Structure 1
Amino acid sequence: MSGGELVNIGRIAEKISDDLFKFFKWEIVGPSNLNFLCVKKENHAKAKNGDHHHPTDVVFRYFDPYANKVVYMHTDLKSYAKGSIGATEIRKALVSLAKSIDCACISPDWRERYLLIRGEKYIISGMLFVFNHDDLYDRDFYDHFKDLKSESLHVKAGQQMHIVEPALINYIATLRQDINGLIANNTFPKRKYTFLYPEMTLHKAAGDYWNRPATMEMIASPYLIIHHGEVFDTDEDGVRVKTYGEGYLVYYRRSGASEYEFMYLFDALSRFQILNGDKEKKIRIRIICKDSSDRLMSNYRAAIANYVREWNEDEYRRSILERIELEVVTMAVHNYKAEHVGWDR
């Protein structure tokens, strides 16, 4: 494989990460693909002669409403063919990332490049982004962790590392493609949307409501709830007209193989005051799962019947549940090929 093609394959992960995370209200900060000086060489590379450096592929920044802090996501971007994804490669990448985060927390170099606001409350976390560029990987990624022990990864107490693996990347890519389709059909706004952070007993969400981003934990969770405003378009006479009402979009990642899945989801929506709120607000559940059940729709209808029965045949609750629109979304097929990326400028 030529050097140019290797560079292009490396750029695939960089390009797709930027394409995907913008929708979640993340931003890229500072320079990409630039190493920073290790300030813990005795711990991180004792046997090495001379200076040691840590890689920085890209740093994302977003505000965490529950933590009331800014998260700086120090990211290692990997692009592998199917046969190159193995336990050895993943372990090496995680060890390198753990050491990078450990150093970044006290590195003057790192702070000078990536911290936007001096004195802000922030957390530095790590993200290993594992993209399968030939789209042939079909294993459970976490099989690679059966023999990995956390103590061998050099993760310090309090450090957080997230893994965005091929299945999660495909989910995010499908969600983004679906959102683009809804925007094109004038049923989702381009700008006025936010990610839902319910008020909890121990956690209160901070920050401007309509500007709240999705945290990494939220993106990787079984469901993602988006609250959106009304949708408007301009007709042929230049008049602004409403094309879709305010509502909630719920992306669900499970297969729907059991009615109890949906009953649990209804329970969550009820706790978050979505089922009990303004009946004019539309609720849409959109399933994104590669292995969705053939009985998904039957299980969903059974879940409505059983949920209403548990509420003593509450017809008002039944009417709310039956107004929910449910749709299974076709999985996206990425088109990030090395030769295509090579033509980008």
Structure 2
Amino acid sequence: MSGGETEKIARLAELVSNDIFSFFRWKKEGPSNLNFTCVKKETHAPMKTKTEHTHPADVVFKYADPYLNKSIYLHTDLKSYAVGSIKLAEIKKALKSLGKTIDCARVSPEWQTRYHLAKREKFEIRGMLFVYNHDDEYDKNFYDHFSDYKGENLHIKDGQQVHIVEPSLINYLNTLLVDINTLRAASTFPKDNYTFYYPDLILHKANGEYWERAATAELIASPYMIIHHKEVRTFCEKANAVAETYSEGYLIYYRRDGSSEIEFRYLFDALSRFQILNANKDLKIRIRVANRYHHSSIISNFNAAINSYVAEWGEDENRKRKLQAIELDVVNHAIPNYKPEAIGWERD
């Protein structure tokens, strides 16, 4: 494979990541595709004696974590692999490089000057490995690769975090975005007036402006994601006025397969704890299943879960009414469709 073709394939992961993360309110900080000088050469590259050592910086994303009340900087390594190249050896190599990179970034004046622009904020630097399968043929559980992992050092130190966004998660997030655009086109989801829902926890209270909260790396990889949105208002040319086309509510993207009613009873419990099911104000609740391999009996399991859950609560009619008003839909699976050939024809 020539260098030009390699560059085009590598750019696929950049295009896909840009498409995905803007909806979740992640912002790109500083320049992309620019190395920075290693300040721990004795530790990170002891075999290099004459030349300086550098670390790659494909892209740095930033978002505000509402529980930690600080900014998270994700120093991201973008990988675009064919199915045959996604192997443990390549994954370990990328993680080792990323571990050294974020270790260096924490103390590098060059990195701080380039990417950490808000000097007074509380912040944390993490790593993120973004593994895009550009030929759409990867159908395995990514973490099965680690069944052969022997515990060798990946150079990720205590207190450091590295998030992995692997092919199935990328496809799930892309499916979510395609569905969001479909709902927006139907005027049933707003363009801007939405927020990612974080319930107050025993040890952590959600901070920050409610309607501006971003999705954390933990939230996008969780079994479900709750999005609270305001009413949708659309300009009607016939009436020459702005009218409400959809009321305020909760949009829940569900990542599990719905193979048992227990799943949904667990979800109902969570919605009750979060004061969504038993709130005084009736808001629409939509559950959108974005699992490529959802169970064939998912609708039956959902309805069975409603019946058993209501029975446990002594046939509470108000709770039954709210549960039966929930809309459950399975969304069409969508994968990113960037291809090396199409990128290759772009003008430089």
TM interval, short-chain normalised: over 0.9
Q: Match of 1:146?
A: 147
**How far 1:24 sits from its partner (Å)?**
0.2
Q: Match for 1:157: what amino acid? A: D
Q: Match of 1:232?
A: 233
CA distance in 2, matches of 1:100, 1:333: 30
**1:279/1:320 contact within 8 Å kept:** no
| DSSP-derived class of the 1:339 partner | helix
Q: Match of 1:204?
A: 205
| DSSP-derived class of the 2:153 partner | helix
**How far 1:149 sits from its partner (Å)?**
4.5
**How far 1:150 sits from its partner (Å)?**
5.0
List aligned pairs for 1:77-88, cutoff 5 A. 77-88=78-89
| DSSP-derived class of the 1:134 partner | coil
CA distance in 2, matches of 1:158, 1:42: 21
**How far 1:201 sits from its partner (Å)?**
1.6
**How far 1:338 sits from its partner (Å)?**
1.2
Q: Match of 2:128?
A: 127
Q: Match of 1:9?
A: 9
Q: Match of 1:312?
A: 314
**2:35/2:56 contact within 8 Å kept:** yes
Gap change, CA 1:204 and 1:150, over 3 Å in 2: farther
Q: Match of 2:272?
A: 270
Deviations 1:275-299 (A, max 9, x none): 0114431000010111110111111
CA distance in 2, matches of 1:272, 1:78: 37
Using structure 1 for the length normalisation, give the TM-score: 0.98
CA distance in 1, matches of 2:257, 2:293: 6
Structure 2 residue 293 is matched with structure 1 residue 288: no
List aligned pairs for 1:52-63, cutoff 5 A. 52-63=53-64
Which ranges of structure 2 fall in alignment gaps of 5 or more residues? none
**1:170/1:332 contact within 8 Å kept:** yes
Which ranges of structure 1 fall in alignment gaps of 5 or more residues? none
**2:179/2:331 contact within 8 Å kept:** yes
Deviations 1:178-214 (A, max 9, x none): 0000000000000000000101121101110000000
Gap change, CA 1:246 and 1:278, over 3 Å in 2: farther
**How far 1:148 sits from its partner (Å)?**
2.1
Q: Match for 1:234: what amino acid? A: F
Q: Match for 1:32: what amino acid? A: S
Gap change, CA 1:256 and 1:344, over 3 Å in 2: farther
Structure 2 residue 327 is matched with structure 1 residue 328: no
CA distance in 2, matches of 1:150, 1:324: 45
CA distance in 1, matches of 2:32, 2:208: 28
**1:34/1:55 contact within 8 Å kept:** yes
Q: Match of 1:68?
A: 69
Deviations 1:79-113 (A, max 9, x none): 00010110000000000000000000000010000
Q: Match for 1:325: what amino acid? A: E
Q: Which 10-residue stretch deviates more, 147-156 or 19-28?
A: 147-156
Q: Equivalent pairs: percent with the same residue?
A: 60
**2:70/2:123 contact within 8 Å kept:** yes
| DSSP-derived class of the 1:168 partner | helix
CA distance in 1, matches of 2:167, 2:325: 34
CA distance in 2, matches of 1:198, 1:228: 15
| DSSP-derived class of the 2:334 partner | coil
| DSSP-derived class of the 1:153 partner | coil
227, 245, 248: which one aligns with 1:246: 248
**2:228/2:250 contact within 8 Å kept:** yes
Q: Match of 2:263?
A: 261
CA distance in 2, matches of 1:278, 1:7: 55
**2:16/2:336 contact within 8 Å kept:** no
**1:31/1:113 contact within 8 Å kept:** yes
- The alignment's C-alpha RMSD in Å is 1.1
**2:36/2:55 contact within 8 Å kept:** yes
**2:259/2:301 contact within 8 Å kept:** yes
Q: Match of 1:42?
A: 42
CA distance in 2, matches of 1:228, 1:182: 12
Q: Which 10-residue stretch deviates more, 217-226 or 290-299?
A: 290-299
Q: Match for 2:42: what amino acid? A: E
CA distance in 2, matches of 1:46, 1:3: 28
Q: Match of 1:299?
A: 301
Q: Match of 1:155?
A: 156
Structure 2 residue 28 is matched with structure 1 residue 28: yes
